[in-house]
Amino acid sequence: MKKIFEAFLDLIYKKKCYFCGSSKHSLKMCPTCYEEMQYSDFRPNRIINGVNVYSCGVYEKTLQKLIRGLKYHRQKELAFYLARFMYDYWLNINDKRDFQVIPTPLHKNRIKKRKYNHMELTVEEFCKAAGYSPNYDLIKRVKDTKPQYKLSRKERLFNLSDAFEVDISKNQGKPVLILDDICTTGATFEEMINALRKNGITDIVCMASSSPVC
Q: Residue 89: its pLDDT value, please?
A: 98
Q: What's the pTM value of the predicted model, to 2 decimals?
A: 0.89
Q: What percent of the chain has pLDDT over 90?
A: 78
Distances (CA, A) of 1 to 8, 12, 143, 149: 11, 17, 39, 41
Which of these, 72, 60, 53, 147, lies nearest to 107 by C-alpha position?
A: 147
CATH of domain 37-211: 3.40.50
Residue in 205, 198, 195 with CA at minimum distance from that of residue 174: 205
Q: Which residues make up the CATH 3.40.50 domain(s) of the chain?
A: 37-211
Q: What is the pLDDT of residue 162?
A: 77
pLDDT tens sequence across 100-155? 999 999 999 989 989 999 999 999 999 999 999 999 999 999 886 656 556 666 66
Residue 2 predicted with pLDDT over 80? no
Nearest residue to 159 (alpha-carbon basis) of 146, 150, 172, 175: 146
The separation between CA 199 and the C-alpha centre of its own chain, rounded to angstroms, equals 23
